[in-house]
Amino acid sequence: MRYLYLLLTILLSSCDPHMIDNGRITAYVPIYVSKDEANFIGAETAKPTVLPGKIYAYGTYLFQVEQNHGIHIIDNSNPQQAHKISFLNVPAASELAVKSGFLYTNNLDDLVVFDISDIVSPRLVNRVEKVFPQISQEYPPVNGAYFECVDPSKGVVVGWEEKLVENPKCRR
């Protein structure tokens, strides 16, 4: 009986719950953009929400983070008919705050500030580099997961997505 428990323990501990089939497992894969793309920010036409994040209310407007992509600007003057009026493209954005007509958010590890007096076309007025060094995209947002190792030659990591991967080399 003792050997049976030992055998079961060995067999169960060797099983990988992430394993799907033929050596492929569910793992995180980095999403890359070039350094130029990562720093290209500006107003665009409104777009659908895909990865919704935090919402911030300011006056008659709502600002909603699109995780790792930017910020939706929503006219909420009539809450029954709220509608998006523009999108602020800010790669790797995850946080936001608004005060006295200025919107503050992160662009990777930089703090960027926009004048929102023209709400349809916010204007970048300041960038403070390396304010958020703890915002690292070197690892996926979870622990205990397999992932493809980051390759800096492919660009800057602005997010992660789960995919079936064959034999990922990294785990955290």
Assigned CATH class of 17-171: mainly beta
78 vs 7 pLDDT, higher one = 78
Alpha-carbon distance values, 142 to 129, 146, 155, 156, 166 (Å): 26, 10, 22, 19, 19
Instruction: Look at residues 151, 71, 143 and name the one whose alpha carbon lies nearest to residue 105.
Output: 71
Ordered DSSP codes for 50-117:
SSEEEEEEETTEEEEEETTTEEEEEE-SSGGG-EEEEEEE-TT---EEEETTEEEEEETTEEEEEE-S
pLDDT in tens, 52-86: 999 999 999 999 999 889 999 999 999 999 999 99
**7 pLDDT higher than 50:** no
Dist. CA 36–CA 157, nearest whole Å = 12
The pLDDT confidence band at residue 8, using thresholds 50, 70 and 90, is very low
The pLDDT confidence band at residue 138, using thresholds 50, 70 and 90, is confident
Is this structure's pTM higher than 0.75? no
